[in-house]
Amino acid sequence: MSNKSIVSYAVLCGLVLMAGCKKFVESGNVNVNPNRSPSITLATALPAVEYTTANNHALLGYITTLFSQQMASYSSGPLNEDRYRDVRISSAFEGMWTALANAKLMVDAAKQQGAPHYTAIARILFVTNLTLATDTYGDLPLTEAFKAPQILQPKYDKQEDIYTFMHKYLDSAIDESKLPNPSTLKPGVDDLIYGGDTLAWRRTAYFLKARLYMHTTKKGAAAAAQNALAAMQNAYTSTSKDYQMIFSERNPNPWFVNVSGRISGSATFTIAPSRRFCNAINGTYFPGLVDPRAIKIIYKRPAASSYTGITNGAANTGNTADLTDTTFYGMRGSPLVMATYSEQKLMEAEALFLKNGGDTTTTGSTADAYAAYLEGIRANMDKLTVPIVQRDAYIANAQVSVGADKLKIAHIMREKMVTLFLNPDMWVDVRRYDYNPNLFTGMELPVNINPDMGGKFIRRSLLPLVEVNRNPNAKAAFKPMTEKMWWDQ
């Protein structure tokens, strides 16, 4: 962990305490040092960590959606990343380590104060950020992290060990969420995600365990699928408790800040939906199948007859599609979506498909797998407020309602690509299935790709230079962008 992250760790403590300084002065307690508080204020720390966690999904998705080819870059902005040139994603790295450090601070403080529900939430937020980080960079500091000033240059832990740790951390969160909690230290309005609903947090912990298991299908598809299905039994039951943070006009969604608001304000455009993604939902790749979600998540310029998108790596070439402040994910008050019931049902469909012995070359699965696949589509349509008539017409299309005996992984992945629009976890699926164009139609290497990649797709980000320069263990842990993650081998 870099020194900057350690400083950020202390900054939250300062912010938590500064809010009370004016009150101390006004009440005459000028001889009381407000910085001598024995503990942080959990109710103040929680929303700060939740906001950073949500923002990290946008910071990371801003780049990783280029790799999953949901988005592509204009001539400005992250064009180098779109072409796989020295990818480091520094802003997201800093944000994730800030969130990790502050979540760890919350875990320790909540344990000291006897507030198990806060401890559970902090652990879940910790794992959320750690998953983002390790699936982007691979090996990372963990066992020696957060021990400054005793350890300023922590060692790097192997990704396999990090995954084991995350499952144990989530198990602890699940157990803690069931414990009695003092009413004086109970999460409520300070919880910007679930409003103190401990059951919703517990269901999210189970969801995250299922997702982690599905990340490891290459390590044994049947076992990963079985473990994921077991976790899903206790996860989401409807779209009403999706893992997301709602933003507002006053506190706008990060996608508005970084992308859609720029377009509305006539500033420099940065990224837009990719041509591959647009062609997958506009009827080009699947003639006769136009996805009604397109109009909800992508803005089509009025003079255009169809969504075109930008070819990855080519920069702007006649694009007619954008993420604007009129789209579901780009409005000021849009939710920042981290995990959903829809994703869970599509994970369930894939898990049942694999458990039944299926793979990328087989056709047909169980009735349960097919039902989960259809429910995943329906749930996402409903979340995006697609009219019921359009929703049902899409599902009834012969290219969607293929029947259990004709179901393929390709059908499930086509729907996940839409359901996980702008979500960094889609890049995990793309890598798990080796950028397979039979599953991700139109997937091909970016135009003007970095020649040092040797004609290979990107598998990981390099570490930011600030981390490499400050921690010699980072240099020892170096792996090129073409090297697969532990779970991808």
Provide DSSP, 22-78.
HHHHHTT-TTS-GGG-SS--HHHHHHHHHHHHHHHHHHHHHHHHHHTTSEEE-SSSS
β-strand partners of 245:
336
CA 278 distance to own-chain centroid? 21
Low-confidence ranges of the chain (pLDDT < 70): 1-39, 264-267
pLDDT at 265: 62
Instruction: Give the three-class secondary structure for 464.
Output: coil
- What is the per-residue pLDDT across 187-242, written as a single tens digit (0 to 9) for each? 999 999 999 999 999 999 999 999 999 999 999 999 999 999 999 999 999 999 99
| Type of residue numbered 22 | K
pLDDT at 35: 47
Question: Where on the phi/psi map is residue 74: left (φ > 0), alpha (ψ -120 to 50), or beta?
Answer: beta
| Type of residue numbered 39 | S
Q: Rounded to whole angstroms, how far apart are CA atoms 312 and 352?
A: 33
Task: Show the CA angle centred on residue 419, arms to residues 247 and 202, nearest 5°.
Answer: 65
β-strand partners of 343:
none
**Cβ 413 vs Cβ 377: under 8 Å:** no
Q: Rounded to whole angstroms, how far apart are CA atoms 433 and 3?
A: 36
Supply the CATH classification number for the domain 3-196+447-488: 1.25.40.390
β-strand pairing of 243-246 with 335-339: antiparallel
Joined together, the tokens standing for residue 232 give 């899903």
Joined together, the tokens standing for residue 86 give 């020295």
pLDDT at 269: 83
pLDDT at 134: 98
Q: Which backbone phi and psi does 321 adopt, to 5 degrees? A: -120, 140
pLDDT at 40: 76
| Type of residue numbered 455 | G
- What is the radius of gyration, based on Cα positions, of the chain? 22
Q: Where in the chain is the domain with CATH 1.25.40.390?
A: 3-196+447-488
Q: Rounded to whole angstroms, how far apart are CA atoms 437 and 456?
A: 14
pTM of the model: 0.92
pLDDT at 266: 56
